[in-house]
Amino acid sequence: MTQPAIRYELLHTCKQTGARLGIVHTPHGSFETPAFMPVGTQATVKTMSPEELKEMNAGIILSNTYHLWLRPGNDIVKEAGGLHKFMNWDRPILTDSGGFQVFSLSQFRKIEEEGVHFRNHLNGDKLFLSPEKAMEIQNDLGSDIMMAFDECPPYPATYDYMLKSVDRTTRWAKRCKEAHARPEEQGLFGIIQGGEYEELRRRSAEALVELDFPGYAIGGLSVGEPKDVMNQVLEFTTPLMPTNKPRYLMGVGSPDSLIDGAIRGIDMFDCVLPTRIARNGTLMTSEGRLVVKNAKYARDFGPIDPNCDCYTCKNYSRAYVRHLIRTEETFGIRLTSYHNLHFLLKLMEQVREAIREDRLGDFREEFFEKYGFNGPNAKNF
């Protein structure tokens, strides 16, 4: 029997919280979990080189099927020898299915059983994406982990709407599995939907677990619901997921949610947050968020974060970074992006260490206190 493309190895369960320390093995190497995946939408993590991502210990990155299908085209990526060769990244890559972009970027869309009709957000052309097409594109891209094509319902949605959506997502997941051409080289994850309805999350999880995917994601969160609702959904959803397979929470990347997600049994996270907020000069530091454009930093010649050992903090001052961001210099965005990505990847190292030492609950308390998440008007991103 051939070795599955994706294999999860559980190393330790935190006695204090139940969080999992593990390793995901892929055709392009292994990465430790819980892991944060930087997002490389257009086959690049904005302004960062692959070498810089390795410097900050990124074990896996994410790329977007929808965007690469439109530009440069999956045929061109395939001709280049796949995404790894195309972008010169030899570590694992996860690709999303394109579903989220179809539902969030397109003004016009029509959902049918066959798939989704929508307009290209770049030029208005009519396009059609189905489970089969999403598999074909991802097979061409050659990612290590690919995602099933799911319906991304709006938040909030009624129970009846969500029920229909969950059942369609299950039928589409089945079609994805049948259309997936290279299961021994690429692992296909199913996506559990169901909004905030416990009964529907259970229905979705049970149907997908029966299809026996090598990993499972929780979709439909981080779409505008309050944090406590997200945590509640995780509390009743993760126990429904197999313990011997990776669990991925899609689109989540604020420091508090990474810690809270790990405590609730999540292994993988992704989000554009660190690079998106970096572009307007918002930085994550060990003592909370810092908006470097603020006037008070004009003559501040200290580092962004005195407790950070990243390239930006070791070499440049708040005053200099502020100047670059205010003058819209690309180098400023590179420095802020580097720092934010380094911060989150370092945070995940600390989370893994805390799990290993059975003290993730204590670590959460210390981190939240220092970061300012416990205050009455705690700022979030």
In-domain check, residue 121: yes
In-domain check, residue 380: no
Measured distance CA(5)–CA(187) in Å, rounded? 5
In-domain check, residue 2: no
Answer yes or no: do 261 and 322 share one domain. no
Answer yes or no: do 287 and 195 share one domain. no
Which residues belong to the annotated binding site for Zn(2+)? 308, 310, 313, 339
In-domain check, residue 226: yes
How does pLDDT run along the chain (381 residues), one tens digit per residue?
467 899 999 999 999 999 999 999 999 999 999 999 999 999 999 999 999 999 999 999 999 999 999 999 999 999 999 999 999 999 999 999 999 998 888 777 899 999 999 999 899 899 999 999 999 999 999 999 999 999 999 889 999 999 999 999 999 999 999 999 999 999 999 999 999 999 999 999 999 999 999 999 999 999 999 999 999 999 999 999 999 999 999 999 999 999 999 999 999 999 999 999 999 999 999 999 999 999 999 999 999 999 999 999 999 999 999 999 999 999 999 999 999 999 999 999 999 999 999 999 999 999 999 999 887 666 665
Answer yes or no: do 235 and 343 share one domain. no
Domain stop point among 272, 302, 334: 272
Which residues belong to the annotated binding site for substrate? 96-100, 150, 193, 220
Determine the pLDDT at residue 376: 66
Domains of the chain: total = 2
Q: Which whole-number Å values give the CA distances from 100 to 95, 103, 183, 275, in the listed order? A: 12, 5, 23, 19
* Single pTM value for the model: 0.97
Range of 163's domain?
7-272
Domain stop point among 272, 307, 330: 272
Active-site residue identified among 75, 96, 160, 305: 96
Answer yes or no: do 258 and 353 share one domain. no
Answer yes or no: do 242 and 142 share one domain. yes
Answer yes or no: do 234 and 293 share one domain. no
In-domain check, residue 41: yes
Q: What is the CATH number of the domain that holds 131?
A: 3.20.20.105
Answer yes or no: do 244 and 358 share one domain. no
Domain stop point among 272, 295, 326: 272
- Does the annotation count 96 as an active-site position? yes
Answer yes or no: do 69 and 122 share one domain. yes
In-domain check, residue 377: no
Answer yes or no: do 260 and 333 share one domain. no
Residue 351 buriedness (CB in 10 A; 0-12 / 13-18 / 19+): buried
- Does the annotation count 270 as an active-site position? yes
Active-site residue identified among 212, 270, 300, 305: 270
In-domain check, residue 379: no
In-domain check, residue 27: yes
Determine the pLDDT at residue 3: 77
Answer yes or no: do 261 and 307 share one domain. no
Answer yes or no: do 227 and 321 share one domain. no
- Alpha-helix runs per DSSP H in the chain: 50-55, 65-70, 74-79, 83-87, 99-105, 131-141, 159-179, 198-211, 227-237, 255-263, 273-278, 311-315, 318-326, 330-356, 360-371
Please name which of 31, 32, 26 lies closest in space to residue 3, comparing C-alpha atoms.
Answer: 26
Q: What is the CA radius of gyration of the chain?
A: 20
Answer yes or no: do 31 and 91 share one domain. yes
Determine the pLDDT at residue 125: 92
